Amino acid sequence: MTWLNETMRRIEADYNRSADTHLIHHHVPGCDGIDLYFKDESTHPSGSLKHRLARSLFLYGVCNGVINEGTTIIESSSGSTAISEAYFARFLGLPFIAVVPKNTAKAKLDQIEFFGGKCHLVDPSDIYSDAKRLALELDGYYMDQFTNAERATDWRSNNNIADSIFAQMSAEKYPVPTWVVVSAGTGGTSATIGRYKRYYSRQFGATQLCVADPDNSVFYEYYHKGDESLTSPKGSRIEGIGRPRVEPSFIRTVVDHMEHVPDAASLAAIHFLEKEMGRKCGASTGTNFYATLKLMCEMKSRGEKGSVVTMICDPGERYNETYYNSDWLVAQGFDLQPHLEHIEQAYRTGQWGKG
């Protein structure tokens, strides 16, 4: 009982010390009368929107009675989830092991270790089975973000991301956004926003939820066809989003619309945003922004006014060696120039100009 009380106190204390993330207004010159906002999730203590997920997953495990004093926490993630979970595990005094593909960049392993986690390197195809096996062997707990993300979050409120966005919009000129645009990794964020706006449909029912999906992800096709057995032979190159299999946490029935965004367009978008906002963002923010700009241009062409909200998911400094490195871009075969020109003209004129 004392361990439980102390654990709940520590999680609450961390929350009390943290401020909510900003909602940033950004003027798009070509789209007067359509207000764009970025929910900036990069400013959480552990650096991404996965901070909210990690908090929810720990609360879920503790309240289910499966995370206890000394329980080793195991997760299959090499990205922002492992970093955020390592952050929580450390201040709860729990050992944390990330099961990661052995080709993971050292910089990312360093970040997980910086927050006190350990990395267990395995073949990419084995990360889920090895995480489960390790949890059995160590009598630990497998967090399983791709299954539990949608169910661990209190989607009705508890200051979840939807609650926060709609509250922060309340004094704006158009407080009920026409679109909220996100992307999907676990699908947890889209599930929370989609359920929330349906639950509060009398206030927010006019808001539509768009999910932007990168190359090599099955979510877009799954959304349209409903086939749970879809797989992709290649993994996504946009870190944090796009999955090679249909994840249980992705709830397609709460999504109103999906946009497919080519990877080169996502990357061009973050280089464009660096110029316009004076800051670097992770590539999934580019995926979000590209789809958002398209929807804004479509609103303009229909003569609509209103607001649109999207998200900064994590900071770009995590990707100085990749997305912001011109040698890496060339080696990967990316040509951003045509997309940069297209984004620029859409942004200046409000006309999307391609099919």
Computed on alpha carbons and rounded to an integer, the radius of gyration of the chain in Å comes to: 20
| Of the candidate residues 56, 178, 284, 310, the single one contacting ligand PLP (CB under 6 A) | 284
Site map 46..65 versus ligand PLP, x via CB under 6 A: --xxx---------------
Name residue, tokens 């999910």.
211
Q: In terms of CB distance, is 71 or 104 closer to ligand PLP?
A: 104
> What minimum distance in Å lies between the beta carbon of 333 and ligand PLP?
22
139: phi then psi, degrees, rounded to nearest 5: 55, 40
Q: Which tokens sit at 156?
A: 């009705």
What DSSP assignment string belongs to 194-234?
Answer: HHHHHHTHHHHTT-EEEEEE-TT-SHHHHHHH--TT-B-SS
Decide if residue 163 touches ligand PLP (CB under 6 A): no
CA 180 and chain centroid, separation: 13
> What minimum distance in Å lies between the beta carbon of 244 and ligand PLP?
15
Decide if residue 80 touches ligand PLP (CB under 6 A): yes
The two beta strands, 23-26 and 34-40, are antiparallel
CA distance 21 to 142: 28
Residues that contact ligand PLP, how many (by CB under 6 A): 21
Rounded to whole angstroms, the maximal C-alpha distance in the chain is 62
Q: In terms of CB distance, is 43 or 345 closer to ligand PLP?
A: 43
Query: Which one-letter DSSP state was computed for residue 300?
Result: H
Decide if residue 242 touches ligand PLP (CB under 6 A): no
- Please report the beta strands in the chain, taking only residues with DSSP state E, as ranges in sequence order: 23-26, 34-40, 73-76, 96-101, 118-122, 141-142, 179-183, 208-213, 257-260, 306-312
Query: Which one-letter DSSP state was computed for residue 71?
Result: P
Region binding ligand PLP by CB under 6 A among candidate stretches 11-19, 20-28, 165-173, 239-247: 239-247
Q: In terms of CB distance, is 50 or 339 closer to ligand PLP?
A: 50
Q: In terms of CB distance, is 158 or 337 closer to ligand PLP?
A: 158
| Of the candidate residues 162, 212, 309, 313, the single one contacting ligand PLP (CB under 6 A) | 313
Residue type, 175: P
The residue with its CB nearest to ligand PLP is 240
**Rounded to 5 degrees, what angle do the CA atoms 230, 335, 322 make?**
75
Q: In terms of CB distance, is 187 or 194 closer to ligand PLP?
A: 187
Q: In terms of CB distance, is 43 or 349 closer to ligand PLP?
A: 43
> What minimum distance in Å lies between the beta carbon of 209 and ligand PLP?
12
Name residue, tokens 């110029």.
275
> What minimum distance in Å lies between the beta carbon of 300 and ligand PLP?
27
C-alpha closest to that of 239 among 330, 129, 326, 322: 322
| Interacting residues with ligand PLP between 175 and 194 (CB under 6 A) | 183-190
Q: Which tokens sit at 296?
A: 């804004």
Site map 11..50 versus ligand PLP, x via CB under 6 A: -------------------------------------xxx
Q: Give contact residues for ligand PLP (rule: CB under 6 A).
A: 48-50, 79-80, 149, 183-190, 239-241, 282, 284, 313-314
